[in-house]
Each structure stands twice: as C-alpha cells, then as structure tokens.
C-alpha cells in the first residue's frame, strides 16, 4: 500500500466513506485496476505522482477489480484501467486506458481549481502590463508548484529570455517530460531560444539589413536577416525572408527555409497568421 496520504486502497467495506463521503469535500479519483493489466501498471505511477504533486486537492482511491468485482459491476467498468472522478457523491467524469501524464493533468484541471493556475493567470496579466519583475516572481512560484507543467514553464522561460537568461530558460524547458515539451508553447519557446542563440553569432540586425539592400540575391544574408528578425520577435519580416528563400532556391542549406518556417509555426502556436503563412509555404512547395 502507498505511504502517500493522498492515496488510499479502497474496497467494498470503505468505498462509501473514502469515495462517496470524501467527494463531498474534494474530488476523488477512483482508479479501477488489476494486477494482470499492463496498461494499469503504466498508469499507476502517473496517478501517484500527480496525487502527490496536487498535495491533497484530490484523493486517489485505488480499486483492485479482481478483489472487488461488485464495485466494478456497480460502476459499469468494462475495460481496464478505468478512472472515474467523483464529486458530491457521484461520478462526474472518466477516462479509460493509460493516458500520458499531460492528458491526465488536463483531465484533472477540468475539475480542480489550483493555486498555480491563479498565479499563472496573474503573471500573464502582469506581463501584459509590462511588469516583468512581478510576472517572473509569480511564474517562479507557480513553476515550483508544477515543474512538469509545460504551459507554466514556457511562460516562465519567455520571461527569463526577456531578462537574458537563455541557458536557464532552456534548462527548464528541457527538464519537462517529453509529452509536455512537445506541446506547441514549450516547443515554440525552444525554437525561440534557438533563434536567439543563432542571432548572437551574427552581425547586428541593422548591419544585416544594410548588406541585404546592397546584395538582395545573397541567400546567406537573407537567411541570417530572417534569424535576426526572429530573435527580435519580428515574425512577419522573418517569414517574408524565409518564403523568399524558398521561392528562390528550395534546396538552400538542405531546405533550411522550410524547416525554419515549421519552427516559427510552433513558436506562434494558434496565432491566426500561421494558417496564412502555411498556405503560402505549401504553394511554394507544390
């Protein structure tokens, strides 16, 4: 049995007290599992880790269905693992199968309002108002609570980048679980850091722009200017330069322009400009 205070083994004798009664005060996540079920074994450490991370904001109740077939039948469990979330004495949501940690986290966050979520929201307001010091402090607090949360980590990395702390930002992003690191916002921030690192090895932006005016057919200059613009956050200009390279020479540096555009799309996430950029890129390809 787990030593965590947030994880309880449940059977028919204590299901009412541990699940139904406790769910009147806080959400209870019930994991229906069995020893022979390999996906159950894959899911268990994820649920246990999240139960400890959420520090009692939900209780994890584990039901061995081989020993408690009556409970499995009562709650309509037909495949394993099945995970049901109880509130106010009733099951209100469920999922089946061994989901990745990010998906389980999203499932929980639909039902649990977290302190880290509040801090994150306040940080974004402060950042929008130009108060980067407050934004950084709030994001660091939220990240300490949820170091594996890709959204919080990416926003903290963005503030650290504004402060010139590129290595720290990259280290935090690389410490994320692979499924979180691959989400659009963390992946985009990693791309932004890569652009910033490349730009530090280039001539100044003004110098590149002047040289490009004098030698507009120089694709090396055009690509370097695109990277410089990306590092400065001028995505429109950078994309125009990359599309111009594609139009001129698709094979330039092993299709570097198209590959860089894909990183820009990750960086911009759900920005409405991405669809327009992507269509123009596809037109040049096909």
Domain assignment present for 162: yes
Contact of 59 with 111, CB cutoff 8 Å: no
Q: Average pLDDT, stretch 217-224?
A: 97
- pLDDT grade, residue 98 (50/70/90)? very high
What's the whole-number average pLDDT of the chain?
A: 94
Domain assignment present for 220: yes
In this structure, the number of other CB atoms found within 10 A of the CB of residue 195 comes to 23
Ranked by mean pLDDT, the top range of 108-117, 206-215, 228-237 is 206-215
226 & 171 share domain = no
Identify the domain boundary among 71, 94, 109: 109
167 & 248 share domain = no
Name the maximum alpha-carbon separation found in the chain: 83
In this structure, the number of other CB atoms found within 10 A of the CB of residue 178 comes to 9
227 & 272 share domain = yes
Structural domain including 90 reads 7-109
Domain assignment present for 154: yes
Q: What is the CATH number of the domain that holds 182?
A: 1.25.40.10
Domain assignment present for 195: no
Greater confidence (222 vs 197) lies with 222
Please give the pLDDT value at position 53.
Answer: 87
Domain assignment present for 237: yes
The answer, yes or no, to whether residue 13 has pLDDT greater than 80, is yes
> In the chain, which residue ranges form alpha helices assigned H by DSSP?
15, 38-53, 69-74, 101-109, 115-128, 132-145, 150-162, 166-174, 178-181, 184-199, 205-214, 219-231, 235-248, 256-268, 273-285
The fraction of the chain above a pLDDT of 90, given in percent, is 82
The fraction of the chain above a pLDDT of 70, given in percent, is 99
Please give the pLDDT value at position 232.
Answer: 85
226 & 148 share domain = no
222 & 249 share domain = yes
Domain assignment present for 121: yes
The answer, yes or no, to whether residue 1 has pLDDT greater than 60, is no
57 & 135 share domain = no
**Quick one: tokens of 196?**
């910033």
Domain assignment present for 60: yes
Please give the pLDDT value at position 286.
Answer: 84
Domain count, the chain: 3
The residues annotated with a catalytic role in the active site are 37, 40
- Cα–Cα distance measured from residue 198 to residue 234, given in angstroms and rounded to the nearest whole number: 15
Greater confidence (145 vs 32) lies with 32
Identify the domain boundary among 63, 91, 109: 109
Q: Average pLDDT, stretch 112-117?
A: 86
122 phi and psi angles, rounded to 5 deg: -65, -35
269 & 242 share domain = yes
Identify the domain boundary among 188, 218, 253: 188
104 & 124 share domain = no
What is the enclosing helix (H) or strand (E) of 233? none
- The residues with which 95 forms a beta bridge, in sequence order, are 83
236 & 163 share domain = no
pLDDT digit string (tens) for 39-91? 999 999 999 999 998 889 999 999 999 999 999 999 999 999 999 999 999 99
136 & 178 share domain = yes
Q: What is the CATH number of the domain that holds 68?
A: 3.40.30.10
Please give the pLDDT value at position 270.
Answer: 83
Domain assignment present for 2: no
- pLDDT grade, residue 188 (50/70/90)? confident
40 & 81 share domain = yes
Gap between the terminal Cα atoms of the chain: 59
Nearest one of 170, 173, 130 to 148, comparing CA atoms: 173
40 & 71 share domain = yes
The answer, yes or no, to whether residue 109 has pLDDT greater than 70, is yes
Nearest one of 53, 72, 52, 54 to 7, comparing CA atoms: 52
């Amino acid at each position: 049995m787990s030593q965590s205070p947030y994880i309880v083994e449940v059977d028919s004798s204590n299901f009412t007290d541990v699940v139904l009664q406790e769910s009147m005060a806080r959400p209870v996540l019930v994991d229906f599992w069995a020893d022979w079920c390999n996906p159950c074994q894959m899911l268990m450490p994820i649920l246990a880790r999240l139960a400890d991370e959420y520090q009692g904001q939900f209780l994890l109740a584990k039901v061995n269905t081989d020993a408690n077939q009556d409970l499995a039948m009562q709650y309509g469990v037909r495949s394993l693992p099945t995970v049901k979330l109880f509130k106010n004495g009733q099951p209100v949501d469920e999922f089946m199968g061994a989901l990745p940690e990010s998906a389980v986290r999203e499932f929980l966050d639909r039902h649990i309002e977290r302190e880290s979520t509040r801090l994150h929201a306040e940080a974004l307001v402060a950042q929008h108002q130009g108060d980067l010091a407050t934004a950084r402090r709030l994001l660091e607090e939220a990240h300490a609570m949820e170091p594996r949360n890709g959204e919080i980590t990416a926003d903290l990395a963005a503030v650290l980048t504004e402060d010139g702390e590129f290595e720290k930002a990259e280290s935090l992003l690389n410490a994320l679980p692979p499924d979180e690191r691959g989400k659009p916002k963390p992946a985009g921030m990693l791309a932004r850091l890569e652009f910033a690192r490349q730009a530090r090895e280039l001539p100044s932006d003004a110098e590149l722009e002047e040289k490009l005016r004098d030698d507009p057919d120089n694709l090396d200059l055009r690509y370097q200017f695109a990277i410089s613009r990306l590092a400065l956050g001028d995505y429109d200009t950078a994309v125009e330069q990359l599309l111009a390279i594609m139009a001129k020479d698709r094979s330039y540096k092993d299709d570097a322009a198209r590959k860089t555009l894909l990183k820009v799309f990750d960086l911009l996430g759900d920005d409405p400009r991405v669809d327009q950029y992507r269509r123009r890129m596809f037109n040049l390809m096909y």
